Amino acid sequence: MRARQGDWQVGLTVTKSVLRSWFPPLMGLRVLCLACGGGQQGPRACSGAQVTVFDNSQQQLAQDRYVARRENLALDTIAGDMRDLSVFPDETFDLIFHPVSNCFVPDVRPVWREAARVLVPGGILLAGFCNPVLYLFDQEKADDGILEVRHRLPYSDLTSISNDERQVYLDEEQPLEFGHLLEDQIGGQLDAGLVLTGFYEDIWPGAELSKYTPCYIATRSVKLNLVEKRVS
Ligand SMILES: C[S@@+](CC[C@H](N)C(=O)[O-])C[C@H]1O[C@@H](n2cnc3c(N)ncnc32)[C@H](O)[C@@H]1O
């Protein structure tokens, strides 16, 4: 695997790779790949780092173990909910990699609080998430290329649509989705004691909305150390 020689790229969003300048040198780093199962990102971060992939899907984690075995990489996998990282003591990780996935939890603030707790001071959180404008429109019409504003934000598959519409998602075993406000996505990180140091946006290829606006956001944030927190 080329990743072992340091030749790797990973995405937090759909089409763009994360700038290499967003990463510190990986050698010896304790990395948490948060809600990041599936074998795409975790194994690539293994060039010298100690990687833990955390996800609530055993199937996704099995993919990471499969790639790790195939490439002879050391990698831990742990099953759990991204809102509860209590299996990890405070200040366990130097870097958290969190690709688009918090659209699957109704409240994103616990994710930022837990991420901040398990990072060392000065630790880095790289996160991808949906621009909430994605959830303004009637989804069925948007799939047919018609953008009709229908929903108020924040969006919730639990309350913004009818029972019948929700049942279709459940019957198809699709996860329920939540469109969080930027106040919770970005403000939530700041409130958790993280400081933004990087930002970019990305498109959703093929989506009608992408003709007008990027649909995904990526942020780089750093956990404040205690002295900075006290004076702020
Ligand atoms: C879109 S995938 C992102 C990671 C994947 N490697 C990728 O790049 O597509 C979303 C991931 O979030 C996980 N997930 C969804 N809800 C979760 C939760 N509450 N706690 C932890 N993981 C969750 C899913 O199992 C899935 O692996």
Per-residue pLDDT reduced to its tens digit, 59-97 = 999 999 999 999 989 899 999 999 999 999 999 999 999
Bridge partners for 218 per DSSP: 128, 200
Residue nearest atom 20 in ligand 1 by C-alpha distance = 81
| 97-121 pLDDT, tens digit each | 999 999 999 999 999 999 999 999 9
Q: Tell me, what amino acid is at 125?
A: L
> CA 16, CA 4: separation in Å to the nearest integer?
21
pLDDT of 216 reads 98
- What does each C-alpha distance from 91 to 26, 42, 46, 65 come to in angstroms? 17, 20, 20, 25
pTM, 2 dp: 0.95
Higher-pLDDT residue of 212 and 47 is: 212
Is residue 226 predicted with pLDDT exceeding 80?
Answer: no
> CA 85, CA 113: separation in Å to the nearest integer?
10
Bridge partners for 220 per DSSP: 126, 198
Q: How far is the CA of 58 from the centre of ligand 1 (A)?
A: 11
Domain boundaries, the chain: 2-131+180-226
Q: How far is the CA of 84 from the centre of ligand 1 (A)?
A: 14
CATH of domain 2-131+180-226: 3.40.50.150
Ligand 1 pocket, mutate which of 16, 40, 51, 56 (most atoms under 8 A from CB): 56
Q: How far is the CA of 183 from the centre of ligand 1 (A)?
A: 22
| 2-32 pLDDT, tens digit each | 666 666 789 999 999 999 999 999 999 999 9
Q: How far is the CA of 37 from the centre of ligand 1 (A)?
A: 6
Atom of ligand 1 nearest to the CA of 35: 22
Give 231's contacts (C-beta < 8 A, 6+ positions apart): none
Q: Which residues line ligand 1 (CB under 6 A)?
A: 35-38, 40-41, 55-57, 60, 81-82, 99-101, 104-105
